[in-house]
Amino acid sequence: MSSLLVDRIGELVTNVADSGTGGPLGIRRNVALLVEAGRVVWIGPARDAPAADHRIDAEGAAVLPGFVDSHAHLVFAGDRAVEFAARMAGRPYTGGGIRTTVGATRAAGDDELRATVRRLRAEALRQGTTTIEIKSGYGLTVADEVRSLRIAGEVTGDTTFLGAHVVPTEYADRPDDYVGLVCGPMLRAAAPYARWIDVFCERGAFDADHARAILTCGQAAGLGVRLHANQLGPGPGVRLGVELGAASVDHCTHLTDADVDALASTAGPDRTGTTTVATLLPGAEFSTRSPYPDARRLLDAGITVALATDCNPGSSYTSSMPFCVALAVREMGMTPAEAVWAATAGGARALRRTDVGVLRPGARADLMILDAPSHLHLAYRPGVPLVRQVLHDGVPR
């Protein structure tokens, strides 16, 4: 079995909170890390590093767990740059453009969709993303949702069935029938290709009753629950997510005190696996010119926060987790350390994964070497391509 030593790491972010005095990021200094069979097998002082078949010299740079992007919509065709330009000229975002992308996606061939997914997955990997969740939701027929999930499943195990993204045009005057389709034939066909189920619970998309019905059917089919909630205005999504034991409620831009209290009631280190994470998607506020969510309020209430890109052609066409980290620090009241944790370990919690988002023996050897001495530089040097090298499953990419 061949081994790989990442040597001369100046700052290692482990996210293992009990590793000495490294704070919540579990920072260790002047260490080396040994990889075998795609896993971390040893971390220790560089001077004690064992011999290895291959060696990467980190030259004193910072090494972090790969980013865990727990919210992305990569299966689509076309783009909506014109819609973006209209927003930057003052038009509001309503989510109505989703139907434009549904039309383009239905018209596209499998190879075109596959090429887009692979291009965006590669783009994300270059920026340090080693784990990514990918949703369907631009097909909205049984066949188009299933093929979206099949194509997503070619690049990730974290696939999410989002048949309830919006009510498609052909069901506009009979939304109950569409909910019946999603809960019945569509879910039956999609469930074998999905780990998660998601609903866009928002005015103009699905209300609480429809969302509850769809998510409950998804749970019965063995899928984990996540939600698009409280993005465009206050609403029932966050509390519904808590009620159903969702792994994550995403966006969380417009929260009442009751929403915050509900999320806080799920928090606590002794309840890992039952916590509902608040996943914040600052690329969406950036690209829709909307007020950012208040991460500070959530963190101060003890709520687990994740950061993700929401990469999609409408509300957030970025695959860059470093960009989201920088936005979260500058605009959402997070410290650089909190934002880095949220983009790595937080994303892992949002996907209920314990094998990623941390660097310790037994974890996946998913990591990035920065062109910088510290994780602080991700927010301190926004817009700069600081990811020098990525290891995914222990393999340099």
Residue numbers belonging to the annotated binding site for Fe(3+): 71, 73, 228, 310
Q: How far apart are CA 28 and CA 99, in angstroms?
A: 48
Among 193, 196, 200, 206, contact with ligand NIG (rule: CB under 6 A): 200
Q: Residue 129: name its binding partner from ligand NIG, Fe ion, none (Cβ under 5 to 8 Å by kind).
A: none
Please report, in angstroms and rounded to a whole number, the separation of the first and last CA atoms in the chain.
19
Q: Which residues are annotated as a binding site?
A: 71, 73, 80, 138, 165, 228, 231, 310, 312, 314-315
Instruction: List the interface residues with ligand NIG, window 295-324 (CB under 6 A).
Output: 310, 312-316
Shortest Cβ 316–ligand NIG spacing (Å):
6
Would you say 160 and 197 are in contact if contact means Cβ atoms under 8 Å apart? yes
Which of 99/126 has CB closer to ligand NIG?
99
For residue 196, the SS3 value is: strand
Instruction: List the interface residues with Fe ion, window 298-327 (CB under 5 A).
Output: 310
> Pattern 214-233, binding to ligand NIG, x per CB under 6 A?
--------------x--x--
Q: Residue 224: name its binding partner from Fe ion, ligand NIG, none (Cβ under 5 to 8 Å by kind).
A: none
Which of 131/312 has CB closer to ligand NIG?
312
Would you say 198 and 189 are in contact if contact means Cβ atoms under 8 Å apart? no
98 binds ligand NIG (CB under 6 A): yes
H/E run at residue 369: strand 367-370
Q: Which residues are annotated as a binding site for N-formimidoyl-L-glutamate?
A: 138, 312, 314
**Strand 159-164 and strand 196-201: pairing?**
parallel
- Classify residue 243 by burial, with Cβ atoms within 10 Å: 0-12, 13-18, 19+: middle
CA 236, chain centre distance (Å): 22
As a dihedral over the C-alpha atoms of residue 264, residue 222, residue 202, residue 181, rounded to 10 degrees, the angle is: -170
Residue nearest to Fe ion (CB): 310
Which of 66/314 has CB closer to ligand NIG?
314
Q: What does R_g of the chain's alpha carbons equal in angstroms?
A: 21
For residue 297, the SS3 value is: helix
Shortest Cβ 31–Fe ion spacing (Å):
37
Q: How far apart are CA 351 and CA 366, in angstroms?
A: 16
Shortest Cβ 307–ligand NIG spacing (Å):
14
198 binds Fe ion (CB under 5 A): no
Q: Which two tokens stand for residue 117?
A: 């997914």
Q: Residue 101: name its binding partner from ligand NIG, Fe ion, none (Cβ under 5 to 8 Å by kind).
A: ligand NIG
Helix axes 142-153, 110-126, angle to 10 degrees: 40
Which of 196/200 has CB closer to ligand NIG?
200
Binding site for ligand NIG (CB under 6 A): 95, 97-98, 101, 200, 228, 231, 284, 310, 312-316
